[in-house]
Amino acid sequence: MATKYRVRKRLFLNRAKDMPAYVIAIVEDTSAYDDKDDKCWNYGTIELRISDCVRSVSFDFYMSDRESRSASLYKIRRLASVINEVKDALEREAESIEAREKRIKEKGKPAPKAKGQAA
């Protein structure tokens, strides 16, 4: 039987090809394994690796018992929450900076002439 995955992605995180930041995410789908073979379904491949071009970090997620599964879900949910908060903050910061740049650019332009004012 071919191995199936719930997630199997490798993405580069920068548009520039010479900046090799990446994320690798793999979660094996063990649902089709025989119930008797707990070495297969209890120890499926799970990998989350993130690199920023210089450094990399990988996260372990154990699923072999109830406590490990609970801890793994707690960990990934907290990571997802913080990542989403940072994403939202970056979006707001980008909007703020763009608005500031627009205001500065507009201040540098000559004031519009009033109607009927001679040129």
Please give the Cα distance from 45 to 99 (Å, whole number): 46
pLDDT averaged over every residue in the chain: 90
Full domain range(s) for residue 95: 64-109
Stretch 66-70: mean pLDDT: 95
| Residue 116 maps to a domain | no
Has residue 48 got a pLDDT over 60?
A: yes
> Which H/E stretch holds residue 22?
strand 22-29
Same-domain pairing of 21 and 49 = yes
Same-domain pairing of 56 and 33 = yes
Phi-psi region of 48 (alpha: psi -120 to 50; beta: other; left: phi over 0): beta
Number of domains within the chain: 2
pLDDT of residue 112: 65
Which of 14-18, 52-56, 63-67, 112-116 is predicted least confidently?
112-116
| Residue 114 maps to a domain | no
Same-domain pairing of 50 and 1 = yes
| Residue 118 maps to a domain | no
Same-domain pairing of 2 and 56 = yes
